[in-house]
Amino acid sequence: MRLATLADGSRDGALVVVDRATASYTRAHGIAPSLQRALDEWPRCEPLLRALGGRLERGEIDALPLAPETLAAPLPRAFEWVDGSAYLNHVVLVRKARGAEPPEGLTSDPLVYQGGSGVLLGPRDPLVLPDAKFGLDFEGEIAVVLGDVPRGTTEERAASHVRLLVLANDVTYRDLVPAELKKGFGFFVSKPSTAFAPIAVTPDELGVAFKDGRPFLRLSCTYNGSRVGDLETGPEMHFSFFQLIAHVTRTRSVTAGTILGSGTVSNRDSERGVSCLVERRAREILEGGAPVTPYMSAGDSVRLEAFDSSGRSVFGAIEQAVVADGGTL
């Protein structure tokens, strides 16, 4: 099942079911007005949405042509956005470039941070850069949307709580990070709103490509029209989503609609490229002593898209361009 949210001017947008070709859709307001409501009432809504999707795929209902520019983030606002850092190559590489050791417990204790979730960007929303010195960067990552997950959920029991998979651009102001981390309370101003690809899919849409809580896809990253990354999302995801779920529910439960991210996708093989500029800069520092690639400036653009083994785009594309200042979003 493939779901999306029409930007209809309401706070949560309007839930639609999308066909496998990402060519047409049908509104689902008879089942739930919004994706959040569907997640709130999943046992009731899931079978109805699946049935609607089946009728759409078989051409049994009137479908409308899908225009990507009319779509918002699947959840334009969410109750929590928790982001992991499960691709350890990224952590090791970035720390190595600044002469730091990998953190203790790197392979046993997941790194996660709590992000802002009240305003989430759609796939074509501009990336606002209020100050060129902020050091704007993108981060391509896969995330899961959860149902209600009780405190103390084990890795073994986590699978049943994964409702959907999505693709995110975890936008970062890199040059605001060091001062903020020094304060010890985690990221805040260094993490502006995160953006999402338009289509949220149920795990069964990935088939065998969702295995043991890891998505086995190819993440394509195109920067200013040039391919900078063609990454494997599966093999090097050290902590699975199931392990991340166990970690985040260690001391509290999370509510339906919580989004949990993998962290920026990263592969050890440098030939595969990057899904964020900081990693490219880290490789440049390690090879030549200094970064060559600048962070994003006004007019730069990024495209993030994930493909399955048949070459089908799973989530649709994130396509964002930088604007020097978009006023107040």
Please list the residues that pair with 221 across neighbouring strands: 229, 304
Q: Which H/E stretch holds residue 182? A: helix 177-183
Q: Shortest CA distance to 136 belongs to which of 175, 193, 97, 167?
A: 175
The pair of structure tokens assigned to 326 is 């978009």
What Rg, from alpha-carbon coordinates, does the chain have? 19
The whole-angstrom separation of Cα 99 and Cα 97 is: 5
Shortest Cβ distance from residue 281 to a second copy (Å)?
A: 19
Q: Shortest CA distance to 175 belongs to which of 161, 187, 193?
A: 187
**CB-wise, 196 or 210, nearer to a second copy?**
196
**CB-wise, 187 or 307, nearer to a second copy?**
187
CB 154 within 8 Å of CB 119: no
Judged by the rule CB under 8 A, the positions of this chain that interact with a second copy are 11, 40, 77-80, 82, 85, 103-105, 109, 111-119, 128, 130, 134, 150-153, 173, 176, 181-193, 247-248, 250-258, 328-329
**CB-wise, 111 or 272, nearer to a second copy?**
111
Shortest Cβ distance from residue 186 to a second copy (Å)?
A: 2
Shortest Cβ distance from residue 252 to a second copy (Å)?
A: 4
Shortest Cβ distance from residue 194 to a second copy (Å)?
A: 10
DSSP class of 154: -
Shortest Cβ distance from residue 259 to a second copy (Å)?
A: 10
**CB-wise, 58 or 185, nearer to a second copy?**
185
